[in-house]
Amino acid sequence: MRKEIDALGEMMLPDDVYYGIQTERNRRCLDITDDTISAYPALIAAIAQVKKACALTNKEIGALDPDKAAAIVQACDEMTAGRFNDAFPLCIFRGSGTPFNMAANEVLGNRANEILTGHKGADAVHPNTHVNMCQSSNDVVPTAKTIAVWNEIGRVIAAAEHLEKAFSQKAEEFADVVKMGRTCLQDAVPITLGQEFSGYAAAMRRNRLRLEEERGHWCGGVLGATAVGTGMGCMPGYTDTIYKNLSAVCGREIHCDANLFDGLQASDGFIVLHAHLLALATAAAKAAYDIRLMGSGPRAGMGELVLPAVQPGSSIMPGKINPVMAEVMILACHRVAGNQAGTGFGAFSGELDLGPSSAVPIRGILESIDILTRAMTLFADKCVAGLAANEEHCRAAAESSTSLATMVSALFGYKVGSRVAKLAWNEGITCREAAERENLLTHEQADDLFDLLALTDVRKTEALFKKYSDIRDV
């Protein structure tokens, strides 16, 4: 055990832990959930990058001894690599501000001290004096969260593109599979299964591009603002140098926010970002709902798609196959929808010179990114990629639909079309057969006008109407 001292007294800590007395105090008083910062390695890696940039800057301006700076930098690299992820046992709901910053200072300080002296402690590197030099929790933590968000958005963008490609491949595969389109779950007009899947692919692409654009808004920081935006506590030269080093550490350009006071107060960015995540989830869920519905059956449902079997679907019905991957996608999107509410509530809770506690928004954003990334990847690989079309069933259902009387009504008027639809329904025949029985069309004309694949192409349909415009007077 080792003894540590702070303004409130002293405490014994196990020798093997890298966090210190302030982290332990926060761990004890904020013990309301097992959901801790340790579960969010993206945040830990991001704050390590911030601390590394600060140490390099303070060394460069002559405020920090080079040996101490080198030890802190090494500790930061180890933290970025995930070595100390278990050293942040802080409740995410309140520990993501000052407790998070102090935990990082303590872990990095203890490790840097260990590098220099062979033991943990603060005799060579102090968590506040050396690691936290020129910083405040109020500018460190928001900047770390911004870095984490930018890094994590890349994951969900890649997953969205992966699902988009899976939909596009099925759109090509199902290009000639004619089926009945449906509106309000009622027969509409013919469509191809490929056209439906092209819509899913387009929705994913649209939302992916929105997220790519949104990602560009997460390239700023508020380092140098310190507590309230005035920069009090910064050493000479720090604010002019920090963003050069932060950009180098992160491997991309990061700039200082145009207005540091706004940067500390702002919360609207969380709402905008998560709204994009929710929009992506909405598109993915729509496709999953549709696929589950088109795959319902196999004999007593729509049965247009054959979903890949990944697990039995019932403990009592041996023949039931559960469309589990589509359901997982849907349920993941439900969780994202819930996180949108939490993000909104969290963003409204700030006052005066500091924005709201962003614990709930950042937790929701990181969880939504993670769950969407995982769910979309699994959905693409375990469901969409293995889908097969029940082509004969799709065509038979389309050919038998009374909605095909639309072709008759377009040529002869709505009243005649209704008569043909009624006859087809009452006699149990197709609209094509009804139109021939009513002597409205010859067999050859019906071949053209009831070519289902042609009816899914607007140009071909227009050409048919033009070709047979003269029979309207019959």
Q: What are the residue numbers of the active site? A: 314
Instruction: Give the CA count within 13 Å in the CB-facing half-sphere of 278.
Output: 17
185 Cβ contact partners less than 8 Å away, ≥ 6 residues apart: none
Look-up of token digits 């303590």? 106
Q: Specify burial of residue 470 (Cβ count, 10 A radius: 0-12, 13-18, 19+).
A: exposed
- Gap between the terminal Cα atoms of the chain: 100
Residues in the chain: 474
CA distances from 340 to 94, 97, 244, 262 (A): 19, 21, 34, 23
Strand partners, 5: 10
Q: How many CB atoms lie within 10 A of CB 311?
A: 8
Q: What is the rounded distance in angstroms from the CA atom of residue 46 to the CA atom of residue 28?
A: 25
Q: What is the rounded distance in angstroms from the CA atom of residue 102 to the CA atom of residue 132?
A: 8
Q: Which amino acid is at 155?
A: R
CA-based radius of gyration for the chain? 31
